[in-house]
Structure 1
Amino acid sequence: MTQPTPPLDEILATFATGTLIDRMGIRLVEATPEHLVGTMPVEGNTQVAGFLHGGASCVLAETLGSVGAFLHVWPGGLALGTDINATHHRSVRSGIVTGVATAITLGRTLTSHEVVISDEEGRRLCTARITNYVRAAEPGPSTS
């Protein structure tokens, strides 16, 4: 299913403009169906006590896994998140966090990615797994 990966700026334009990804300051650094890297600032994504919000970690993880799934069926395919789970190991109050998503499986109808989120010192903050339902693009009408 996987086609050549589009340029990163095209991916960003497809996913980020005017979305939660944009509002949370998530940036893609690398993006292929098999391996994705993204960053997110802690500032603006904290809970009441001033720590990185666990839901913000889930948004970063789901963003990376969903982009990977979408790229797996690029161009014109569909990717919809069906399951996410996360274990929060520690927290952080400032800086930039980095998520690294690695494909577990890239199938015909399901993809799964493991996402490890770390702080600037490389300490693991969160481990998440996201599963997406994927569907390849429907073939266009025949011209013959």
Structure 2
Amino acid sequence: MSKEFLVKPDIAKLNEMCKDTISEVLGMEFTEVGDNYIIAKMPVDKRTHQPYGLLHGGASVVLAETLGSVASMLMVDSETHYCVGLEINANHIRGVTDGWVHGRTTPVHLGKTTQVWSIEIINEKEQLVCISRITMAVLKK
């Protein structure tokens, strides 16, 4: 899909927006922005582990939801509209015990009332860890 962000995102502003949120607690950091994609990374450590020492699936979902939600927000006029999540799913493909995971979100559908975003999370070897999809509602203020 080739539609570009309505608002040109600034990585520093995106990271500032995450202060005092679950994104900050889990150590997420936005690292790259393209015309219609965003990439963020998250550490795999005690903050994001489940009891067996693996990356917690819920932490992957938080990364995915953060990416999809932020991307959807950048596709609408914030003076007149806002976006909220309707549904998110995730398939956990590979375990990770340490290092970093990187999530990349790209649009699947950009409609007037809904958006669908795909999020792929990979490990440092560029192996797929999790694939997720989020559906966002576009609402009028």
Return the TM-score normalized by structure 1.
0.87
Equivalent in 22, 25, 38 of residue 23 of structure 1: 25
Contact 2:60–2:130 (CA under 8 A) maintained in structure 1: yes
Residue 68 of structure 2 is matched in structure 1 by: 65
Distance 1:83 1:33, change over 3 A: farther
Displacement of 1:2 after TM fit? 5.0
Distance 1:82 1:50, change over 3 A: same
- The number of equivalent residue pairs is 136
Contact 1:33–1:72 (CA under 8 A) maintained in structure 2: no
| Distance of 2:44 and 2:106 partners within structure 1 | 22
Matched residue SS, 2:74 = helix
Identify unmatched segments of 5+ residues in structure 2: none
Displacement of 1:74 after TM fit? 4.0
Tell me the C-alpha RMSD between the 2 structures: 1.8
| Distance of 1:2 and 1:118 partners within structure 2 | 23
1:37-93 Cα distance to aligned partner (Å, 9 max, x none) = 010000120000000000000000000000010101143331111100000011110
**Alignment-mate amino acid for residue 117 of structure 1:** I
Contact 2:5–2:36 (CA under 8 A) maintained in structure 1: no
| Distance of 1:62 and 1:33 partners within structure 2 | 19
Residue 96 of structure 2 is matched in structure 1 by: 92
Contact 2:55–2:96 (CA under 8 A) maintained in structure 1: yes
1:126 and 2:124 are equivalent in the alignment? no
Contact 1:35–1:100 (CA under 8 A) maintained in structure 2: yes
| Distance of 1:134 and 1:18 partners within structure 2 | 25
**Alignment-mate amino acid for residue 38 of structure 1:** A
Q: Which runs of 4+ in 1 moved over 6 A?
A: none
| Distance of 1:78 and 1:33 partners within structure 2 | 20
Query: Which of structures 1 and 2 has the bigger CA Rg?
Result: 1
| Aligned residue runs from structure 1 range 46-61, under 5 A | 46-61=49-64
Identity of aligned residues (%): 35
| Distance of 2:35 and 2:89 partners within structure 1 | 20
Identify unmatched segments of 5+ residues in structure 1: 139-144
Distance 1:88 1:55, change over 3 A: same
Contact 1:118–1:125 (CA under 8 A) maintained in structure 2: yes
